[in-house]
Amino acid sequence: MIDINNKIFNFYDPSKIMESELESLQNSLSENIFTDSIYTISEKYIPEREKTYLLNQFNNLVTNFNFEKSKIINKEENNLSGIEVIFRKELINYNQEIQDYCLVDSNFMLIDVFDNIEIIMSDNILGEFKNQNIIPIIAHPERFNKNTEISKFEKLKNDGVLFQMSLGSLDGSFGEDAKLNSINLLENDIYDFIASDTV
């Protein structure tokens, strides 16, 4: 997964990032290129009133990028874009639009719980996810300031919750605590996905 997030949300930034990646691909002789990547943006950086419009724009941006990338690497690229959702209880109330918050029309939902892992651990929340056939992926748990006991992560994994690590945490971009937590979680086989941080 490739996170394209910026606290000052602006589509010129993701565009420049993707243009830069295309330029790197053109100059690279490497064969070791991931051909399928999920590009995600975080809901927390999108104004509510413009969410639908901006998500459509982002999807179009990824579609165009994949078309250009396909020409460079001579392989067809899938259009994979999604959103990192801010967890709130209303999210799990049954509605027809919940699939809109899942990654690439799947049943996987990338969730930011803002340091509150306890809310996901409650039986009724996990039960609702299961009832709606949604598999939660908790984003960058290494950045939590509390509730970092391995046993809590293991319990959630046993209940079907997945975890995504941010490369930016591992290299210290989000502070020493996040770096140490990411190493600890990695050594304990907690992670299922790794995301790059492009911004």
- Give residue-wise pLDDT tens across range 132-160: 888 889 988 998 877 678 888 898 899 88
pLDDT of the residue at 162:
92
What is the CB neighbour count within 10 angstroms for residue 19?
12
**Strand 2-3 with 108-112, pairing:** unpaired
pLDDT of the residue at 166:
85
| pTM greater than the 0.75 cutoff | no
Q: What distance in Å separates the CA atoms of residue 85 and residue 48, rounded to the nearest whole number? A: 12
pLDDT of the residue at 78:
65
Burial classification of residue 180, based on how many CB atoms lie within 10 Å of its CB (0-12 exposed, 13-18 middle, 19 or more buried): middle
pLDDT of the residue at 8:
41
**Strand 2-3 with 135-139, pairing:** unpaired
DSSP structure class, residue 40 = E
Q: For the chain, which domains are there? A: 1-83 (no CATH), 87-199 (3.20.20.140)
pLDDT of the residue at 6:
43
Which segments in the chain show pLDDT lower than 50? 6-12, 29, 32, 199
